[in-house]
Structure 1
């Protein structure tokens, strides 16, 4: 009578290594996808901060019509700013005279694009800004 030998066969070891390799492949794929999403989230957050600071910086210059464009951070972020007078969707009758010294609403639109190897992602910001009339000197 032969005694049963204990241990693993070669086929069992190969199957175990195949399952381990498959598990590691799935794990590494998940980690690389997560790191890509973290980087894209950071880029989008940075674009939001840059858009906010750009609007605050140009707030003094807001006049209609205005078209400007430029780059930030060595060309990584491209932006376009358009300022136009706001058009009322339900205009008032023409008989109403407009006061040239009244406050006006301006439609501000800022588009930012960024991405590796060319613009692949974008941020679109649209807002209304109230512009006060210039102050008059006494006697004008």
Structure 2
């Protein structure tokens, strides 16, 4: 017979091979999308970890050797990361500040990176306790 295969001939038809290649291409595309997303998430996590490292360093060394003062400061860690630190006296909501020699200050730190038009950021907040400070003659001064 013309066009029929003998029983001894085995294998895949061209249509089956094309279908298998198409299925592999679709699976490979999906796998590459997952791998790309994984790389993006890893880079994002690394950037946030580095921002946290810079923040910890700044918060650990802020106002060491100088009196703590309310206000704002800003600067740059390196070419990629920049920061803004806001310091304000802290007291419980609705409560009058205590008349004690120790005072709490709230430090709010924003670490920014990426393009200035669309920066990425991480926010850090901590409290810092200050005691009475002395002027050059040893007399006590109220914290500023």
Same topology, TM > 0.5 = yes
Taking the aligned partners of 2:129 and 2:28, their CA distance within structure 1 comes to 57
Taking the aligned partners of 1:84 and 1:24, their CA distance within structure 2 comes to 54
Determine if contact 1:69/1:80 at 8 Å carries over to the other structure.
yes
Taking the aligned partners of 1:39 and 1:121, their CA distance within structure 2 comes to 13
Identify which of 90, 93, 102 aligns with 2:94: 90
Taking the aligned partners of 2:59 and 2:6, their CA distance within structure 1 comes to 84
In structure 1, the residue matched to 2:133 is 134
Instruction: Indicate the SS of the match to 1:55.
Output: helix
- Report deviation, 1:128: 1.2
Q: How many residues end up aligned between the 2 structures?
A: 133
Taking the aligned partners of 2:139 and 2:130, their CA distance within structure 1 comes to 23
Instruction: Indicate the SS of the match to 1:130.
Output: strand
Identify which of 30, 37, 45 aligns with 1:33: 37
Structure 1 unaligned runs (5+)? Answer: none
In structure 2, the residue matched to 1:3 is 6
Q: TM-score, normalised by structure 2?
A: 0.79
In structure 2, the residue matched to 1:112 is 111
For the pair 1:66 / 2:71, whether they are aligned, the reply is yes
Taking the aligned partners of 1:138 and 1:79, their CA distance within structure 2 comes to 35
Identify which of 10, 17, 22 aligns with 1:13: 17
Instruction: Indicate the SS of the match to 1:3.
Output: coil
